Structure 1
Amino acid sequence: MEEIFAEEFKAAESFFNRKKQHIPALSVLRGHYPGRVFVDWPDKPELAIVWPTGRWMYAAGDAGAERNIALIRLFLQNTVIPDCIRRGVGWFEIYADDSEAWNRLFLSGLPGVRADKLFETVYELQIGPFRSLEELLQADQGEFEIEIVEYPIVAGSDILSLGADHHFMDKKTVGASVNVGGQTVSFCRNNGFTVGNEYFIDADTYETAERNKGHGTQAAAALIGYYLDQNMLPLWETTQDNLASNRLALKLGFLPAEQYPVYTFKLQK
Protein backbone atom coordinates (compact mmCIF):
# COMPACT_ATOMS: atom_id res chain seq x y z
CA MET A 1 0.00 0.00 0.00
CA GLU A 2 1.26 3.47 -0.88
CA GLU A 3 0.57 6.51 1.28
CA ILE A 4 -0.94 9.49 -0.52
CA PHE A 5 -1.30 13.06 0.68
CA ALA A 6 -3.91 15.82 0.79
CA GLU A 7 -3.63 16.90 -2.83
CA GLU A 8 -4.26 13.27 -3.89
CA PHE A 9 -7.07 12.38 -1.46
CA LYS A 10 -9.78 12.97 -4.07
CA ALA A 11 -8.80 9.70 -5.73
CA ALA A 12 -10.04 7.74 -2.69
CA GLU A 13 -13.35 9.56 -2.09
CA SER A 14 -15.49 7.26 -4.23
CA PHE A 15 -14.83 4.40 -1.79
CA PHE A 16 -16.32 6.30 1.15
CA ASN A 17 -19.04 8.70 -0.04
CA ARG A 18 -22.15 6.50 0.02
CA LYS A 19 -22.66 5.37 3.64
CA LYS A 20 -23.12 7.08 7.00
CA GLN A 21 -20.56 4.74 8.56
CA HIS A 22 -17.88 6.20 6.28
CA ILE A 23 -18.30 9.83 7.37
CA PRO A 24 -15.19 9.61 9.60
CA ALA A 25 -13.12 8.47 6.61
CA LEU A 26 -14.67 11.11 4.39
CA SER A 27 -13.91 13.81 6.97
CA VAL A 28 -10.21 12.93 6.63
CA LEU A 29 -10.36 12.90 2.85
CA ARG A 30 -12.00 16.35 2.81
CA GLY A 31 -9.54 17.89 5.25
CA HIS A 32 -11.83 18.22 8.27
CA TYR A 33 -9.92 15.73 10.46
CA PRO A 34 -6.26 14.65 10.47
CA GLY A 35 -5.32 11.23 9.23
CA ARG A 36 -3.37 9.10 6.78
CA VAL A 37 -4.56 7.54 3.53
CA PHE A 38 -3.16 4.49 1.74
CA VAL A 39 -4.06 3.07 -1.68
CA ASP A 40 -2.85 0.34 -3.99
CA TRP A 41 -2.51 2.57 -7.07
CA PRO A 42 -2.43 6.38 -6.58
CA ASP A 43 -3.71 7.15 -10.09
CA LYS A 44 -6.64 4.73 -10.14
CA PRO A 45 -7.00 2.91 -6.81
CA GLU A 46 -8.93 -0.32 -6.42
CA LEU A 47 -8.31 -0.44 -2.67
CA ALA A 48 -8.11 2.30 -0.02
CA ILE A 49 -7.48 2.54 3.73
CA VAL A 50 -8.16 5.73 5.70
CA TRP A 51 -6.63 6.00 9.17
CA PRO A 52 -7.95 8.96 11.21
CA THR A 53 -5.40 10.17 13.76
CA GLY A 54 -5.80 8.46 17.13
CA ARG A 55 -8.71 6.36 15.89
CA TRP A 56 -9.55 3.22 13.93
CA MET A 57 -9.15 2.47 10.22
CA TYR A 58 -11.61 2.25 7.32
CA ALA A 59 -10.94 -0.15 4.47
CA ALA A 60 -12.83 -0.37 1.17
CA GLY A 61 -12.38 -1.82 -2.28
CA ASP A 62 -11.49 -5.17 -3.77
CA ALA A 63 -10.41 -7.41 -0.89
CA GLY A 64 -10.59 -10.63 -2.89
CA ALA A 65 -7.78 -10.22 -5.40
CA GLU A 66 -4.62 -12.08 -4.40
CA ARG A 67 -2.46 -9.02 -4.98
CA ASN A 68 -4.66 -6.89 -2.72
CA ILE A 69 -4.68 -9.53 0.01
CA ALA A 70 -0.89 -9.50 -0.02
CA LEU A 71 -0.78 -5.68 0.01
CA ILE A 72 -3.07 -5.40 3.04
CA ARG A 73 -1.20 -8.08 4.97
CA LEU A 74 2.09 -6.32 4.33
CA PHE A 75 0.52 -3.00 5.33
CA LEU A 76 -0.65 -4.43 8.65
CA GLN A 77 2.66 -6.13 9.37
CA ASN A 78 4.98 -3.33 8.24
CA THR A 79 3.01 -0.17 9.08
CA VAL A 80 0.14 -0.72 11.51
CA ILE A 81 1.62 -3.23 13.97
CA PRO A 82 4.96 -1.37 14.32
CA ASP A 83 3.03 1.86 14.92
CA CYS A 84 0.99 0.20 17.67
CA ILE A 85 4.15 -1.14 19.31
CA ARG A 86 5.85 2.26 19.12
CA ARG A 87 2.87 3.96 20.80
CA GLY A 88 2.42 1.21 23.39
CA VAL A 89 -1.04 0.29 22.08
CA GLY A 90 -1.87 -3.41 21.99
CA TRP A 91 -4.78 -3.36 19.56
CA PHE A 92 -6.28 -1.79 16.45
CA GLU A 93 -9.59 -1.91 14.58
CA ILE A 94 -10.65 -1.83 10.95
CA TYR A 95 -14.14 -0.99 9.68
CA ALA A 96 -15.11 -2.62 6.39
CA ASP A 97 -18.11 -4.00 4.52
CA ASP A 98 -19.64 -7.29 5.62
CA SER A 99 -18.34 -9.66 2.96
CA GLU A 100 -16.71 -13.06 2.70
CA ALA A 101 -13.65 -11.45 1.14
CA TRP A 102 -12.98 -9.23 4.17
CA ASN A 103 -13.76 -12.13 6.52
CA ARG A 104 -11.22 -14.37 4.82
CA LEU A 105 -8.61 -11.64 4.77
CA PHE A 106 -8.91 -10.47 8.37
CA LEU A 107 -10.03 -13.62 10.21
CA SER A 108 -7.67 -16.12 8.60
CA GLY A 109 -4.90 -15.07 10.96
CA LEU A 110 -1.84 -12.84 11.09
CA PRO A 111 1.38 -13.75 12.89
CA GLY A 112 1.29 -12.45 16.47
CA VAL A 113 -2.24 -11.05 16.18
CA ARG A 114 -5.62 -12.37 17.36
CA ALA A 115 -8.48 -11.20 15.13
CA ASP A 116 -12.18 -11.04 15.90
CA LYS A 117 -15.32 -9.48 14.45
CA LEU A 118 -18.15 -7.51 16.02
CA PHE A 119 -20.96 -5.34 14.70
CA GLU A 120 -21.75 -1.68 15.18
CA THR A 121 -24.82 0.38 14.37
CA VAL A 122 -25.10 4.01 13.33
CA TYR A 123 -28.30 5.81 14.36
CA GLU A 124 -29.99 8.84 12.78
CA LEU A 125 -31.98 11.36 14.83
CA GLN A 126 -35.74 11.76 14.53
CA ILE A 127 -36.14 15.44 15.33
CA GLY A 128 -39.78 15.36 16.48
CA PRO A 129 -39.30 12.78 19.27
CA PHE A 130 -36.08 14.50 20.32
CA ARG A 131 -37.76 17.90 20.66
CA SER A 132 -40.47 16.35 22.85
CA LEU A 133 -37.82 14.84 25.13
CA GLU A 134 -35.90 18.12 25.15
CA GLU A 135 -38.94 19.96 26.54
CA LEU A 136 -39.30 17.41 29.34
CA LEU A 137 -35.61 17.66 30.24
CA GLN A 138 -35.67 21.45 30.34
CA ALA A 139 -38.64 21.32 32.71
CA ASP A 140 -36.85 18.89 35.03
CA GLN A 141 -33.54 20.56 35.88
CA GLY A 142 -31.85 18.85 38.82
CA GLU A 143 -28.91 19.81 41.01
CA PHE A 144 -26.42 20.06 38.19
CA GLU A 145 -25.13 22.55 35.66
CA ILE A 146 -24.82 22.11 31.90
CA GLU A 147 -21.95 23.85 30.17
CA ILE A 148 -21.18 24.14 26.45
CA VAL A 149 -17.40 23.99 26.08
CA GLU A 150 -14.73 23.62 23.41
CA TYR A 151 -12.50 20.55 23.13
CA PRO A 152 -9.46 19.86 20.93
CA ILE A 153 -10.42 17.63 18.01
CA VAL A 154 -7.45 15.39 18.81
CA ALA A 155 -4.86 15.32 21.56
CA GLY A 156 -1.57 17.03 20.78
CA SER A 157 0.31 13.81 21.52
CA ASP A 158 -1.66 12.01 18.78
CA ILE A 159 -0.89 14.76 16.29
CA LEU A 160 2.82 14.60 17.02
CA SER A 161 3.08 10.81 17.18
CA LEU A 162 1.46 10.26 13.80
CA GLY A 163 3.02 13.22 12.03
CA ALA A 164 -0.28 14.86 11.14
CA ASP A 165 -0.59 18.43 9.91
CA HIS A 166 0.05 20.61 12.96
CA HIS A 167 -2.72 23.08 12.10
CA PHE A 168 -5.11 20.51 13.56
CA MET A 169 -3.55 21.12 16.99
CA ASP A 170 -5.47 24.40 17.15
CA LYS A 171 -8.73 23.03 15.77
CA LYS A 172 -11.59 22.78 18.25
CA THR A 173 -14.93 21.06 18.47
CA VAL A 174 -17.87 21.62 20.81
CA GLY A 175 -19.16 19.49 23.66
CA ALA A 176 -21.66 19.65 26.50
CA SER A 177 -20.67 18.74 30.05
CA VAL A 178 -22.87 18.03 33.05
CA ASN A 179 -21.27 19.25 36.26
CA VAL A 180 -22.22 18.26 39.81
CA GLY A 181 -20.56 20.04 42.71
CA GLY A 182 -18.08 21.66 40.35
CA GLN A 183 -16.98 18.31 38.86
CA THR A 184 -17.77 17.05 35.36
CA VAL A 185 -19.67 13.78 35.68
CA SER A 186 -20.84 13.34 32.08
CA PHE A 187 -20.03 14.79 28.71
CA CYS A 188 -21.07 14.56 25.07
CA ARG A 189 -19.19 16.12 22.17
CA ASN A 190 -18.96 16.40 18.43
CA ASN A 191 -15.92 14.17 17.92
CA GLY A 192 -14.73 16.07 14.85
CA PHE A 193 -16.01 13.63 12.24
CA THR A 194 -18.13 16.10 10.29
CA VAL A 195 -19.23 16.10 6.65
CA GLY A 196 -21.83 18.51 5.33
CA ASN A 197 -24.43 19.00 8.06
CA GLU A 198 -23.82 15.66 9.81
CA TYR A 199 -21.47 14.87 12.68
CA PHE A 200 -20.66 11.94 14.96
CA ILE A 201 -21.10 12.04 18.74
CA ASP A 202 -18.86 10.77 21.55
CA ALA A 203 -20.45 10.44 25.00
CA ASP A 204 -19.39 9.17 28.42
CA THR A 205 -20.34 9.26 32.08
CA TYR A 206 -17.08 8.98 33.98
CA GLU A 207 -17.94 7.37 37.30
CA THR A 208 -20.07 4.25 37.66
CA ALA A 209 -21.80 5.82 40.67
CA GLU A 210 -23.04 8.68 38.48
CA ARG A 211 -24.64 6.46 35.86
CA ASN A 212 -28.39 5.88 35.57
CA LYS A 213 -29.05 9.35 36.97
CA GLY A 214 -29.92 10.98 33.65
CA HIS A 215 -26.67 12.93 33.35
CA GLY A 216 -25.76 11.32 30.03
CA THR A 217 -29.19 12.14 28.64
CA GLN A 218 -28.87 15.77 29.72
CA ALA A 219 -25.38 16.14 28.20
CA ALA A 220 -26.39 14.55 24.90
CA ALA A 221 -29.61 16.56 24.65
CA ALA A 222 -27.77 19.82 25.33
CA LEU A 223 -25.24 19.11 22.58
CA ILE A 224 -27.83 17.93 20.07
CA GLY A 225 -29.99 20.98 20.74
CA TYR A 226 -26.98 23.28 20.34
CA TYR A 227 -26.18 21.85 16.91
CA LEU A 228 -29.80 21.58 15.74
CA ASP A 229 -29.98 25.35 16.16
CA GLN A 230 -27.19 25.44 13.54
CA ASN A 231 -28.99 22.94 11.27
CA MET A 232 -26.45 20.23 12.10
CA LEU A 233 -27.67 16.63 12.49
CA PRO A 234 -26.04 14.11 14.86
CA LEU A 235 -25.15 10.49 14.18
CA TRP A 236 -24.86 8.05 17.07
CA GLU A 237 -22.60 5.00 16.74
CA THR A 238 -22.31 2.08 19.14
CA THR A 239 -21.58 -1.63 19.29
CA GLN A 240 -24.42 -4.14 19.35
CA ASP A 241 -23.52 -5.34 22.83
CA ASN A 242 -23.38 -1.86 24.41
CA LEU A 243 -26.92 -2.02 25.72
CA ALA A 244 -26.70 1.22 27.71
CA SER A 245 -25.59 3.21 24.66
CA ASN A 246 -28.28 1.64 22.48
CA ARG A 247 -30.96 2.45 25.06
CA LEU A 248 -29.77 6.04 25.36
CA ALA A 249 -29.81 6.47 21.58
CA LEU A 250 -33.41 5.29 21.38
CA LYS A 251 -34.42 7.46 24.34
CA LEU A 252 -32.99 10.53 22.62
CA GLY A 253 -35.00 9.85 19.47
CA PHE A 254 -32.43 8.04 17.33
CA LEU A 255 -33.33 5.10 15.10
CA PRO A 256 -30.94 2.53 13.58
CA ALA A 257 -29.80 3.39 10.05
CA GLU A 258 -26.88 1.08 9.18
CA GLN A 259 -25.16 -1.95 10.65
CA TYR A 260 -21.63 -3.03 9.72
CA PRO A 261 -18.72 -5.14 10.95
CA VAL A 262 -15.67 -3.99 12.85
CA TYR A 263 -12.63 -6.24 12.76
CA THR A 264 -10.64 -6.09 15.99
CA PHE A 265 -7.00 -7.09 16.29
CA LYS A 266 -5.10 -7.72 19.53
CA LEU A 267 -1.35 -8.02 19.54
CA GLN A 268 -0.17 -11.18 21.27
CA LYS A 269 2.81 -11.01 23.61
Structure 2
Amino acid sequence: MKELIYELEKKHFHRCNDIVNRGVNIEGKAIVAGINPGRIFVDNIDKPRSAVIWQGNLDGFIFVGDSKSASFNKEIKQYIEKVIIPQAKELGMRWFECISDHPSWYLTFEEEIFNGRNLETWNQFVYTLSPIEYESVRVPEIDREYTVQKITIDMLNANNINNLKLVETKIMEFWGSANDFFENGMGYCILHDNHIVSVCMTGFRYKNIHGIDIETIGSYQGKKLAQNAVHSFVENCFINGFIPYWDCMEVNYPSNAVAKRIGFKKEFSYKGYEFEL
Protein backbone atom coordinates (compact mmCIF):
# COMPACT_ATOMS: atom_id res chain seq x y z
CA MET A 1 0.00 0.00 0.00
CA LYS A 2 1.35 3.43 -0.94
CA GLU A 3 2.45 5.65 1.94
CA LEU A 4 0.39 8.80 2.31
CA ILE A 5 2.29 10.44 5.20
CA TYR A 6 6.05 10.80 4.92
CA GLU A 7 8.68 11.68 7.49
CA LEU A 8 11.19 14.12 6.02
CA GLU A 9 14.92 13.71 6.44
CA LYS A 10 16.50 16.70 8.13
CA LYS A 11 18.31 17.67 4.91
CA HIS A 12 14.88 18.13 3.29
CA PHE A 13 13.27 20.23 6.06
CA HIS A 14 13.74 23.31 3.86
CA ARG A 15 10.98 22.00 1.62
CA CYS A 16 8.56 23.19 4.31
CA ASN A 17 9.82 26.79 4.23
CA ASP A 18 6.86 28.06 2.20
CA ILE A 19 4.20 26.60 4.47
CA VAL A 20 5.87 27.24 7.83
CA ASN A 21 6.63 30.88 7.05
CA ARG A 22 2.91 31.67 6.79
CA GLY A 23 2.63 31.40 10.57
CA VAL A 24 3.72 33.80 13.30
CA ASN A 25 5.10 31.36 15.89
CA ILE A 26 8.86 30.81 15.82
CA GLU A 27 9.07 27.22 17.08
CA GLY A 28 8.14 25.55 13.79
CA LYS A 29 10.34 27.94 11.81
CA ALA A 30 13.30 27.21 14.07
CA ILE A 31 12.92 23.46 13.51
CA VAL A 32 12.48 23.77 9.73
CA ALA A 33 15.58 25.99 9.63
CA GLY A 34 17.53 23.22 11.40
CA ILE A 35 18.37 25.36 14.43
CA ASN A 36 16.30 23.44 16.99
CA PRO A 37 15.75 19.66 16.82
CA GLY A 38 12.51 18.08 15.69
CA ARG A 39 10.79 15.76 13.22
CA ILE A 40 8.47 16.64 10.34
CA PHE A 41 5.66 14.58 8.77
CA VAL A 42 4.26 15.74 5.42
CA ASP A 43 1.66 14.92 2.78
CA ASN A 44 4.06 15.26 -0.16
CA ILE A 45 7.76 14.57 0.16
CA ASP A 46 8.79 16.95 -2.65
CA LYS A 47 6.35 19.83 -2.20
CA PRO A 48 4.49 19.63 1.10
CA ARG A 49 1.14 21.39 1.42
CA SER A 50 0.39 20.29 4.99
CA ALA A 51 2.71 19.09 7.74
CA VAL A 52 3.02 18.18 11.41
CA ILE A 53 6.18 19.19 13.23
CA TRP A 54 7.11 17.19 16.34
CA GLN A 55 9.17 19.43 18.59
CA GLY A 56 12.46 17.86 19.59
CA ASN A 57 11.97 18.81 23.24
CA LEU A 58 8.84 16.60 23.25
CA ASP A 59 6.80 19.68 24.07
CA GLY A 60 4.18 18.89 21.46
CA PHE A 61 3.20 19.13 17.81
CA ILE A 62 2.73 22.03 15.40
CA PHE A 63 0.31 21.74 12.46
CA VAL A 64 1.22 23.96 9.50
CA GLY A 65 0.04 24.57 5.95
CA ASP A 66 -3.35 23.78 4.44
CA SER A 67 -5.81 22.99 7.22
CA LYS A 68 -8.58 22.10 4.76
CA SER A 69 -6.85 19.23 2.98
CA ALA A 70 -9.35 16.40 3.51
CA SER A 71 -6.85 13.73 2.42
CA PHE A 72 -4.10 14.94 4.77
CA ASN A 73 -6.47 15.33 7.71
CA LYS A 74 -7.79 11.80 7.23
CA GLU A 75 -4.33 10.25 6.80
CA ILE A 76 -2.62 12.17 9.61
CA LYS A 77 -5.40 11.13 11.98
CA GLN A 78 -4.59 7.47 11.29
CA TYR A 79 -0.84 8.10 11.34
CA ILE A 80 -1.05 9.78 14.73
CA GLU A 81 -3.03 6.84 16.08
CA LYS A 82 -0.88 4.06 14.62
CA VAL A 83 2.63 5.56 14.55
CA ILE A 84 3.05 8.73 16.59
CA ILE A 85 1.07 7.90 19.75
CA PRO A 86 2.85 4.55 20.32
CA GLN A 87 6.21 6.30 19.90
CA ALA A 88 5.15 9.13 22.21
CA LYS A 89 4.12 6.65 24.90
CA GLU A 90 7.46 4.87 24.60
CA LEU A 91 9.17 8.22 25.21
CA GLY A 92 7.16 8.70 28.38
CA MET A 93 4.73 11.33 27.06
CA ARG A 94 1.40 11.37 28.90
CA TRP A 95 -0.35 14.06 26.84
CA PHE A 96 -0.66 14.84 23.15
CA GLU A 97 -0.37 18.64 22.90
CA CYS A 98 -0.63 20.60 19.67
CA ILE A 99 -0.75 24.10 18.29
CA SER A 100 -1.06 25.43 14.75
CA ASP A 101 0.16 28.20 12.48
CA HIS A 102 -3.36 29.53 11.83
CA PRO A 103 -6.76 29.56 13.61
CA SER A 104 -8.29 27.70 10.65
CA TRP A 105 -6.81 24.51 12.16
CA TYR A 106 -8.99 24.81 15.29
CA LEU A 107 -12.14 23.56 13.61
CA THR A 108 -10.12 20.88 11.81
CA PHE A 109 -8.81 19.61 15.16
CA GLU A 110 -12.26 19.59 16.71
CA GLU A 111 -14.29 18.13 13.82
CA GLU A 112 -11.81 15.97 11.87
CA ILE A 113 -8.42 14.98 13.26
CA PHE A 114 -9.31 14.65 16.96
CA ASN A 115 -13.10 14.26 16.84
CA GLY A 116 -14.22 11.71 19.38
CA ARG A 117 -11.36 12.51 21.74
CA ASN A 118 -11.70 14.29 25.06
CA LEU A 119 -10.03 17.49 23.84
CA GLU A 120 -9.00 20.25 26.22
CA THR A 121 -7.79 23.70 25.20
CA TRP A 122 -5.68 26.48 26.63
CA ASN A 123 -4.63 29.98 25.53
CA GLN A 124 -1.07 31.08 24.90
CA PHE A 125 0.18 34.71 24.90
CA VAL A 126 3.20 35.94 22.91
CA TYR A 127 5.04 39.12 23.88
CA THR A 128 7.87 41.04 22.23
CA LEU A 129 10.00 43.90 23.47
CA SER A 130 11.50 46.89 21.66
CA PRO A 131 14.60 48.76 22.82
CA ILE A 132 12.57 51.98 23.17
CA GLU A 133 10.04 50.34 25.51
CA TYR A 134 12.85 48.75 27.50
CA GLU A 135 14.81 51.99 28.08
CA SER A 136 12.41 53.26 30.75
CA VAL A 137 12.37 49.99 32.74
CA ARG A 138 14.43 49.88 35.91
CA VAL A 139 16.36 46.71 36.80
CA PRO A 140 15.06 45.44 40.16
CA GLU A 141 17.58 45.24 42.97
CA ILE A 142 18.33 41.85 44.49
CA ASP A 143 20.21 40.96 47.67
CA ARG A 144 23.99 41.00 47.43
CA GLU A 145 24.12 37.29 48.23
CA TYR A 146 22.87 36.63 44.67
CA THR A 147 25.04 37.03 41.57
CA VAL A 148 24.16 37.05 37.87
CA GLN A 149 26.38 34.93 35.64
CA LYS A 150 26.35 34.32 31.91
CA ILE A 151 26.05 30.67 30.89
CA THR A 152 29.31 29.75 29.16
CA ILE A 153 31.23 26.60 28.24
CA ASP A 154 33.68 27.38 31.06
CA MET A 155 30.80 27.58 33.50
CA LEU A 156 29.52 24.14 32.45
CA ASN A 157 33.02 22.76 32.99
CA ALA A 158 33.41 24.41 36.40
CA ASN A 159 33.53 22.25 39.52
CA ASN A 160 32.50 24.93 42.01
CA ILE A 161 28.79 24.99 41.11
CA ASN A 162 26.75 22.34 42.88
CA ASN A 163 23.77 21.90 40.57
CA LEU A 164 25.01 22.41 37.01
CA LYS A 165 22.60 19.64 36.04
CA LEU A 166 19.80 22.21 36.12
CA VAL A 167 21.35 24.21 33.27
CA GLU A 168 22.52 21.12 31.39
CA THR A 169 19.00 19.67 31.50
CA LYS A 170 17.46 22.96 30.36
CA ILE A 171 19.83 23.12 27.40
CA MET A 172 19.07 19.56 26.32
CA GLU A 173 15.31 20.23 26.56
CA PHE A 174 15.57 22.53 23.56
CA TRP A 175 18.86 21.85 21.79
CA GLY A 176 20.49 18.91 20.04
CA SER A 177 23.72 19.52 21.96
CA ALA A 178 25.43 22.05 24.21
CA ASN A 179 27.47 23.16 21.19
CA ASP A 180 24.25 23.94 19.28
CA PHE A 181 23.09 26.05 22.21
CA PHE A 182 26.32 28.05 22.48
CA GLU A 183 26.41 28.55 18.71
CA ASN A 184 22.81 29.77 18.41
CA GLY A 185 21.57 30.71 21.86
CA MET A 186 22.58 32.40 25.08
CA GLY A 187 21.60 32.43 28.71
CA TYR A 188 22.05 33.84 32.20
CA CYS A 189 21.60 32.38 35.64
CA ILE A 190 21.39 33.60 39.22
CA LEU A 191 23.74 31.97 41.73
CA HIS A 192 23.31 31.67 45.48
CA ASP A 193 25.92 29.88 47.61
CA ASN A 194 27.30 28.17 44.49
CA HIS A 195 23.81 26.95 43.56
CA ILE A 196 21.96 27.93 40.37
CA VAL A 197 18.56 29.19 41.54
CA SER A 198 17.18 30.89 38.41
CA VAL A 199 17.83 30.45 34.67
CA CYS A 200 16.89 32.57 31.63
CA MET A 201 18.01 31.20 28.25
CA THR A 202 17.19 30.86 24.57
CA GLY A 203 14.71 28.04 24.07
CA PHE A 204 14.05 28.46 20.34
CA ARG A 205 15.80 30.71 17.88
CA TYR A 206 14.70 31.79 14.42
CA LYS A 207 16.93 34.27 12.56
CA ASN A 208 17.48 37.12 15.05
CA ILE A 209 14.55 36.19 17.31
CA HIS A 210 15.36 34.50 20.62
CA GLY A 211 12.50 32.70 22.37
CA ILE A 212 12.95 33.04 26.13
CA ASP A 213 12.73 30.13 28.55
CA ILE A 214 12.90 30.84 32.29
CA GLU A 215 12.88 28.73 35.42
CA THR A 216 13.35 29.60 39.07
CA ILE A 217 13.66 26.99 41.82
CA GLY A 218 10.49 26.99 43.91
CA SER A 219 11.91 28.21 47.22
CA TYR A 220 13.55 31.17 45.46
CA GLN A 221 10.47 32.41 43.62
CA GLY A 222 9.07 35.83 44.48
CA LYS A 223 12.51 37.41 45.02
CA LYS A 224 12.68 39.12 41.58
CA LEU A 225 15.50 36.77 40.54
CA ALA A 226 13.86 35.77 37.24
CA GLN A 227 13.33 39.44 36.41
CA ASN A 228 17.00 40.12 37.02
CA ALA A 229 18.13 37.23 34.83
CA VAL A 230 15.74 38.32 32.07
CA HIS A 231 17.12 41.88 32.21
CA SER A 232 20.63 40.55 31.56
CA PHE A 233 19.30 38.40 28.72
CA VAL A 234 17.37 41.28 27.15
CA GLU A 235 20.30 43.68 27.38
CA ASN A 236 22.51 41.15 25.58
CA CYS A 237 19.80 40.75 22.93
CA PHE A 238 19.73 44.46 22.16
CA ILE A 239 23.53 44.79 22.17
CA ASN A 240 23.66 42.10 19.49
CA GLY A 241 20.64 43.22 17.45
CA PHE A 242 18.40 40.35 18.58
CA ILE A 243 14.66 40.41 19.32
CA PRO A 244 13.52 38.85 22.63
CA TYR A 245 10.33 36.79 22.28
CA TRP A 246 8.22 35.65 25.23
CA ASP A 247 5.63 32.88 24.90
CA CYS A 248 3.65 31.66 27.93
CA MET A 249 0.29 30.21 28.92
CA GLU A 250 -2.46 32.68 29.78
CA VAL A 251 -2.87 30.99 33.18
CA ASN A 252 0.83 31.31 34.00
CA TYR A 253 0.22 34.54 35.86
CA PRO A 254 3.76 34.94 37.28
CA SER A 255 5.31 34.61 33.80
CA ASN A 256 2.88 37.12 32.30
CA ALA A 257 3.55 39.51 35.16
CA VAL A 258 7.34 39.33 34.76
CA ALA A 259 7.03 39.97 31.01
CA LYS A 260 4.90 43.07 31.56
CA ARG A 261 7.15 44.46 34.30
CA ILE A 262 10.11 44.33 31.94
CA GLY A 263 8.19 46.17 29.23
CA PHE A 264 7.09 43.34 26.95
CA LYS A 265 3.92 44.02 24.96
CA LYS A 266 1.47 41.33 23.88
CA GLU A 267 1.74 40.74 20.13
CA PHE A 268 -0.79 37.95 19.63
CA SER A 269 -2.44 34.96 21.27
CA TYR A 270 -3.24 31.47 20.04
CA LYS A 271 -4.97 28.32 21.21
CA GLY A 272 -3.47 24.98 22.14
CA TYR A 273 -5.19 21.59 22.21
CA GLU A 274 -4.41 18.50 24.26
CA PHE A 275 -5.70 15.07 25.17
CA GLU A 276 -4.41 12.39 27.50
CA LEU A 277 -2.60 9.44 25.96
Same-fold status (TM-score > 0.5): yes
| TM-score in terms of structure 2 length | 0.82
Identity of aligned residues (%): 22
Q: CA deviation at 1:32?
A: 0.9
Question: What is the correspondence of 1:106-117 to structure 2 with a 5 Å cutoff?
Answer: 106-110=113-117, 114-117=118-121
- Distance in structure 2 (CA, Å) of the matches to 1:260 and 1:216: 25
Aligned to 2:81: 77
Q: Secondary structure at the match of 2:34?
A: coil
Residues 1:180 and 2:200 are matched in the alignment: no
Which of residues 225, 228, 233 is equivalent to 1:223?
233
1:200 Cα deviation from its structure 2 partner: 0.3
- d(CA) in 2 for partners of 1:169, 1:79: 30
Which residue in 2 is equivalent to 1:102? 109
- What is the CA distance between 1:154 and its match in structure 2? 4.9
Q: What does residue 239 of structure 1 align with?
A: 249
State which drifts further: 65-74 or 23-32. 65-74
Contact 1:106–1:263 (Cα < 8 Å) also in 2 = no
Q: Does structure 1 retain, via aligned residues, the 8 Å contact 2:43–2:51?
A: yes
Match of 1:162 in 2: none
**Residue 209 of structure 2 corresponds to residue 202 of structure 1:** no
1:20 partner SS: coil
- Separation in structure 2 between the aligned mates of residue 64 and residue 18 of structure 1, nearest angstrom: 15
Q: 2:34 maps to which residue? A: 31
Task: Structure 2 unaligned segments of length 5 or more: list them.
Answer: 153-166
More strand by share: 1
Choose which of 202, 224, 229 in structure 2 pairs with 1:190: 202
Q: CA deviation at 1:7?
A: 3.0
Distance 2:93 2:38 in 1: 17
Could you say what secondary structure the match of 2:27 adopts?
Answer: helix
The number of residue pairs the alignment matches comes to: 250
Give, in whole Å, the separation in 2 of the partners of 1:265 and 1:254: 31
Cα separation, 2, equivalents of 1:85 and 1:51: 14
Distance 2:189 2:178 in 1: 22
CA distance in 2, matches of 1:248, 1:141: 15
Q: 2:221 corresponds to which residue?
A: 211
Unpaired runs of 5+ residues, structure 1, are 160-165
Q: Cα RMSD between the aligned structures?
A: 2.2
